[in-house]
Structure 1
């Protein structure tokens, strides 16, 4: 049986009052990327958002392997989940906006407080974003858009495309790390739907896990999206 522990946000005050809104976690795992040691807690009752998925690890490993620097770059991450990718990118110099559904934000904020030094937190924001609805609340001048294992339900694909298309400008680089699963249309999403709107290049592949990392840019002549709902 898994025991859930309620953890309080860390702070600098010597005495801390118990925060009854502190998130509860199933466990906390350690990861090493780019010389950084990350401690990532995974929450209770958050569904698919409560796990560090292999696609997220693959994207972090890709950044490590390619020695990608995000210094001075403006980045938004979609479906941040536990926050592992956005946290690493912040540590690599990015000014990062991490987004997810409102009930996932406390998990992200806790992991941010655990892993990001206070002096660097001004470069990181955590905000709610519902694909297809809230994207117009965000700017369109991002250097990078990131997503890992966000292509898992065909119901969300039109909204995801709409959000990507809105947020990306001609100079934006998009990295998507996806695990292909049977029955959810993820292969068709990447091979048929995405190429209508984006230039798509496979930059990494983990054959044993059926995970592919894509590097994408917006097609200048792609149709505007009143996209199929």
Structure 2
């Protein structure tokens, strides 16, 4: 199953093109280090929440945009080896010398996929989600995801990925645990749905919500603390 390095990034809205160049420059190096895909997606339809949301997860300012991004690896060992190389490769130091965002508020962590259905080729729109998950609910989450995925894929989605926290650490200012308002006995989950475009996503969600397979599903997490939003990929390598 896919191993995911997931990120939430606060970027000044005026720095969109600078951030895209920064990511484009880094992508070939991550691929050289063993990554199979790198995606950076710019906020398009990200609602404000009553309890928490993706804006608050990165302490975004009014003039900033939140990005939902990830790097895929074939397994954790490849990801760990890649991160070791990233820390020592002089080319990565050059790329990171002038970051067009506040790295102190970047949220990141490693996740093991529990569901990976469909193919992401032709992705033009992404629904990203981050949620709290009981530590003992990994199997229940996998069953829930497997039961829901067909409804998305048969109603226009290209790919559905859900992943369970594996290497998610506490940060000094922001992190996934703070973002989901983690309680005792919980961790975080990270996932996304890929669509060909926003119109297909909007129409697809109406059908998904009316799909009888979605009714009666017992979600193994607190939906009131689930954060989600729609994003447009600006880098997909």
Same fold, judged at TM 0.5 (above): no
Q: Which has the higher contact order (CA 8 A, sep 6+)?
A: 2
TM-score under structure 2 length normalisation = 0.29
